[in-house]
Each structure stands twice: as C-alpha cells, then as structure tokens.
Structure 1
Amino acid sequence: MSSTREPVMPQNLSYHRDIKYVLKLNNWILCTIGILPFTTRRIGRHVFKILIAFYNFIISFTIVPCALHIIYDQKDIIIRLKLFGLLAFCLTAMTKYCILTIRLPKILYCIEFVKSDWWQVTFRSDREQMLKYAAAGRKLTIIVTSFMYTSSVLYYQILPFFVEHIINNETVRPLVFPIYSKFRQFQISPVYEIVYVAHCMCEYTLCSVTVGTCGLAALFVTHACGQIEVILSRLEDLVNGKNFMQNPNIHRRIAAIVKSHVRVVKFAAVVEEVLQEVCLVELSSSLCTICLLEYYCIVDWQDDDRISLATYFLLFLSFCFNVYMLCYIGELLMEKSSQIGHICYMINWYQISPKFARSLILIIAMASHPIKISAGRIADLSLLTFVNILKTTLAYLSFLRTLVM
C-alpha cells in the first residue's frame, strides 16, 4: 500500500452519488413490495403498509386455489410433485416476506449505518476500497436479479402456454398458477384477465422477496467487508501514521482502530439478527427446491420436453446461485475479519513501545473469533455449507427417484 499522504476531505464530497450507487437497486426492488418505505413524499411513508397488506392478500389469493387444485384435481404424481415445488416456493417466499416486514426497523437501522459510514469517509483510498466491495455486492445482486426474473418469466408466463390444460374433458385458458376446477368463473372474462394480472403480481412479489433478501445480504455484508478493509489499511499504516493526520499520537491511532473494529462487529451483529431467519428459510427451502428441480430436469430429459427442461434448468441455476451467493459472502466476511489478527502480527509492532504494542493483543484476541453470519444460528454461511447442501440434495434426489419411479 502506498505510504504517500493523500488529501483529506472534511466529509465524502461524493456522498450522494456513492450512496445512490450503493442503495439504488435494493431500494427499487424493496420499495415496490413495501419492505422499504417511500421517502420522497410525506404520504409515501404510509404507502408501504398498504402495499404489504395488499401483496399478502394477493399471495393468499393465489396459494389457496393452487393448494386445492393439487389436493383434489391433480392425480398425476409427477405433476403433483411439480406443483408441490411451486407451492413450497410460494409459502417460503411468503414466510420471508413476513420476516422482512417484522425486521423492518433493524433493516432501516442497518441502512442508516451504511449511510453514516459513507458520510464519514475521509481518505480517497478508503472510498476506493469501500466502492470496490460495494461494486461486488451490486454485481452479485444484479446476477441474482437476472437469474430469478428471467427464470420466473419462463416458468410462470411462458411455460403454461406450452402445456395442455384440460379439466373434466374441457380445455381451459392457462393461468400463471393452477386453480381449483370448481372455480369455473375464473375462466369467464373479465374475471380471467383480473385473475391473470393478480397472478402476475404474485409472481413479481415472490421473486422480488427472494431477490430483495439476497440483495440486502450482499449490501450489508460487502459493506462490512469494505469497513474491515479500511481497518486493515489503518493497521498497516499504524507505525508510519501517514493516514492518521488527525491522530498523530500512537495511542490515539490504536484507539481509532479499536473503535472502528468495535463498530464493524456491532454492525455485523445487527446484520445477523436481520438475516438469520430469512437465511434459514432460504437455505432449508432451497434444499427442497433444488432437489425437486433436479428431479424435474431428469423427468423432462426422459420425456424429451426441451422447453420445460430449459425452464427448470434455469430455475435450478437460479436457486443454486442464490444459495452460493449467501454462502460466498458469509465466507468472505469470515475471511476478511480473521485477517485483522494476522495483519496485527505482520506489521512492525516491534518498532513501537511495548506499552502500546500490548494494546494489539486485544485486537488479535477479538480477531481470533471471526465475524460470522449464520442461518438461524444452526449453520454458518460458508462455502462448506454450500457443498453440504448440494450433497444433501443429491441424496434426497436418489431417495425421491427410488420412491416415485
């Protein structure tokens, strides 16, 4: 790292541009489903409550007829399994939606925390390091969004029109979600068009909840990693003090590093509180969904149904990437936080007085317990967890094939 002194700014002069770059995508997704309130107008602060109630009604309006169709209408075991996966995804997305709604105060607290950190940026190098991790989180969110929305459009709005819909020897117009056959009025215009639009809104809500969950995780965790990177640069410069223009005293430099480290640890604790339930639901539901999608791909491969195979394979990639992203950022946070202790030892600590060098022992002790994000305090988000999930899905797939075939 360069030891040349950089110009100091009284605050981040690019704050508004930076914070817009960091939060824009997540704000757009989460505001449209009511998770984040609108702040542009006074009335907008209450619109999100109406949106939450409305979308929960739309999801319930979709799930109930679909469940009745699976129980009473559908007799084919393969189609039942396919619809069960759809219903399970709806229920888990609704669960995550409720959790995010309950955790809204903590989410807003974390967002304000992120804004505060960006406002307090002093050195240009700090801003560049934070932007690097913010860009990584933004790219992950874009990939998740692209996969999820593309696969959902194929599954919900294109695939139904390539499947023959016959109930009681009558051909019916396809809908995004199947409906109980007793509700014949759903095929009559304009009721059919209204129901179709409601199903499309439900589809958008379910996908946005999944994308929003992953986007929030990527935003908060990569921000914490960016802050840790700033701490590492401070530690590397502890002896020379080039980046401590306001703290020329070595004791004050160490105090500033400890303060920043404690701030990141507290932020990570709130982030885990926000994410632990939704991550648990996401991992457990993805375990079931990925297994079912693997089975659907095998069945469609045997039936030579290319459109359905392509759709389910894209969904498979989407859910796999969602789980991988959560596990990857958890692994990244553990790796970055554990580097603090390593850097403390690798700097020229022997050039400072023993009195101040002893202060580094506490930092090393804290860094020996790296920051982790867990799924319901049951499993840590790491690449090992991702591998274990894939292994478990293959084991369940083998059992499912034996049971059904």
Structure 2
Amino acid sequence: MHPSVQNDTVQPRNPNYKDDIIYVTRYLKWILNSIGIWPAMLKGIRSFLPTITIVLSNIVLVFFEVQCMLYITLEEKDPLLRLRLLGLASYSLVSLLKYWALTMRKSRIKDCIEELNKDWKQVELQRDRTSMLKYGKIGRGLIVYCAVFLYCGNLFYATILQYAIGSQIDDDNRTIRILMYPMYSGLLDVQESPIYEITYILQCLCSIMMNAVICGCCGLAALFSTHICGQIDIVISQLNDLVDGKFSKKNCTTNTRLMNIVQRHTKILKFSAMFETVLQEVCLFEFVGTTFVICLVEYYCITDWQQNNKLGLLTYSVVLTSLTFNMYLWCYIGDLLIEKVSNIHFNS
C-alpha cells in the first residue's frame, strides 16, 4: 500500500481502494523505484535510498555520456563512425535531460500520486469505479507496451549488433573488445581485465536506467492521463443523472448534485495543471530529442541496406520501431485526453 494512502485521514468510501491503487500503479512503481523517482515514505537510513539511487544513477549516466562525447570529438577520426556514434550520444543525452526533469519535479509527482490515491479512495458508486478501472487498465497496458518495445530494442542493440561488430585488431596486433558505449582511452585502458568486465556491467546498468527513465516518463503520462479520463467519465455520468438523481443519495437536491459536479470538474482542472507542470520539460525533450534520434536511426538503416549489412539493418529496424512506437504512445495519450475532454461539452 502506498504511504500516502496510509497517512490519509479521510474515511475511505471505496473498500477496494488498496487493490485498485496497486493494480493501476504496480508496473510504473517498479520502474520509477529503480531510478529513485517514485515517492516513498521510508524511515531511518532507508529514507536516503531514493537520494542515493538518484546520485549514483546521475554519476553513471554523466560519466558514460562524457566518455562517449570525448571519444567522438578527440579519438574517432572516421566521420561516418562519428555520425553513427552521435545517435547513441544523443539518445543518452535525451535520457539524462529527462531524468533531470523528473528529479526536479519529484515533489510535484508525489502531489499528483497523492491526489490520484484520494480519488480512488473516495469513489462511491460501482459504475464510477468500473469506469476508473477501465481507463486504469488502458494506462497499465500502455506502460507494459512501452517497456516491452524499449527493452526489446535495447536488447537487440546490446546483443545482436555487438555480436555483429565482434572483436577488432588494432595496429599493435592487440584484440579490441567492443563495448556498448565507446570509451576515451586517454583516461583509462578499458581493454584490461577486470576493468573491461566492470565497465561492461556498468554500461549495461546505464542502458537499463536510460530505458527506465524513458519508460517512466511515458508511464507517468499514461497513468495521469487515463486517470483524468476516468474522472471525466464520472462527471459525464453525473451530468446525465443531474435531473433524475437515480444514482445520488436520498434527499440530494439538484443544486447539490450540480455543486458536486462543479467541484469534481474543478478538481480535474487542478490535477491537469499539476500534470502539465510535471511533464512539460519531458515532453519538450521527448519530441525534439527523439525526433532527432529517429532521423539518425533511419539514416543508419539506409546505409546498412546499401552495404547489405543484414544484422545491422535488423537491429536498427527494431530500435527504430521501438522509438517510433514510444512516440506514438505519447500522441495516443494526448489524443485520448483531448477526445475525452471534448465529450464533456457534447454530453452537457
């Protein structure tokens, strides 16, 4: 059970609110906990775990981003290879910027989650709970789809493409083992054991963290947007019941029902404003940065097609599909919210 539920003193009207909250937030909570963003009320030394996670994650992400940029600018001389590595560096930079944005808005994320918990706790009618669960299931599904596509693309890049590149022999007849992210040799020699093994493991963790950041951003948008859609459905059902009052409490007047509708609608608007504040920077980085990376990956697909590099073409095609699908999810979430908001006008 989420801590905010425990600390809320309002008497719950939904006896199943604990299970409902766990159902709609479980996967997103796992993802955001892994990068220290999900709000948690831990006591004692455990209260520092999210901060420690954020600090360590930033150190790893910044370290490999700087290493990659140093290698591209100072060590790699081939312009085509520089262009290929630019896509990786851009993808890492966009993920890092999103992570900073989430960290900066962590308190706002906590406020949104607490409001979401209160709404689940105070839902009274079964038809309203069913409507919220319907959209909660949609948000949960979007989180799963996003994670599957992102991690599949990352798996292809980390395994198949690295296998296709294989080991190389330098001018000194020394075997060069390939890493996921290039490392600038002016700082340390990563080809020696156990430095290579440690670096490879850290790079795998870095890749997992970047995907967690991207999936977490999309998951937050899906969770909050679908929750708003569920609340709008409740307002629409209340509007349809305004005159008859079949689903209202006994002795509840029309004015009282209208006042409840206005209060809920105002609450939706406030929640939407909080939601916008949380993800406004993330949306900017998503659409600008991801569009740039998609263009680069499309170029890689074209060049691999011309060079008959089937493994490279397969890998970049999977990466392109995952990035495009992630962008599609953002557009779908926005269209879903716009359509649902418009329904209030048509049903009023």
The TM-score, its normalising length taken from structure 2, stands at: 0.92
Corresponding residue number in structure 2 for 1:301:
305
Judge conservation of contact 2:60–2:202 (CA < 8 Å) in 1: yes
CA distance in 1, matches of 2:219, 2:46: 22
Q: What is the aligned counterpart of 2:46 among 44, 50, 58?
A: 44
Contact 2:37 2:106 in 1 (8 A): yes
Aligned pairs (5 A) from 1:145-294: 145-164=147-166, 165-168=168-171, 170-183=174-187, 185-245=189-249, 248-294=252-298
Partner AA of 1:109 in structure 2: D
> What residue number does 2:96 align with?
94
Cα separation, 2, equivalents of 1:37 and 1:192: 35
- Aligned residue in 1 for 2:8: none
Query: Hey, what does 1:374 align to over in structure 2?
Result: none
Is 2:290 the partner of 1:316? Answer: no
Distance 1:325 1:308 in 2: 26
1:327 maps to 2:331:
yes
Identify unmatched segments of 5+ residues in structure 2.
1-10
Quote the Cα distance in structure 2 between the aligned partners of 1:63 and 1:342: 50
| Matched letter for residue 309 of structure 1 | L
Taking the aligned partners of 2:306 and 2:185, their CA distance within structure 1 comes to 29
**Residue 41 of structure 1: how far off its partner (Å):** 5.3
User: How far did residue 319 of structure 1 move?
Assistant: 1.2
Larger radius of gyration: 1
For 1:337, the equivalent position in structure 2 comes to: 341
* Structure 2 residue 109 is matched with structure 1 residue 107: yes
* Residue of structure 2 in register with 1:370 after alignment: none
**Distance across 2 between alignment mates of 1:300 and 1:293:** 10
Higher relative contact order (CA 8 A, sep 6+): 2
Equivalent residue number for residue 71 of structure 1:
73
Structure 2 Cα separation of the partners of residues 213 and 134 of structure 1: 17
Does the 8 Å CA contact 1:286/1:319 hold for their aligned counterparts? yes
How far has the Cα of 1:217 moved from its partner? Answer: 0.5
Root-mean-square deviation (Å): 1.7
* Gaps in structure 1 of 5+ consecutive residues: 1-8, 345-405
- Tell me how far apart the structure 1 counterparts of residues 342 and 100 of structure 2 sit (CA, whole Å): 34
CA deviations 1:110-154 (Å, max 9, x no partner) are 000110000001011101100010101111110100000111121
Q: 1:171, CA displacement in angstroms? A: 2.6
Instruction: Please tell me whether the aligned partners of residues 68 and 180 of structure 1 are also in contact (alpha carbons under 8 angstroms).
Output: yes
**How many residue pairs were aligned?**
336
Per-residue CA deviation, residues 358-403 of structure 1 (Å, 9 max, x unaligned), is xxxxxxxxxxxxxxxxxxxxxxxxxxxxxxxxxxxxxxxxxxxxxx
- The 3 A distance-change label for structure 1 pair 287 and 10 is closer
Post-superposition offset of 1:246: 5.3
**What SS class does the counterpart of residue 295 from structure 1 fall into?**
helix
- % same residue: 42
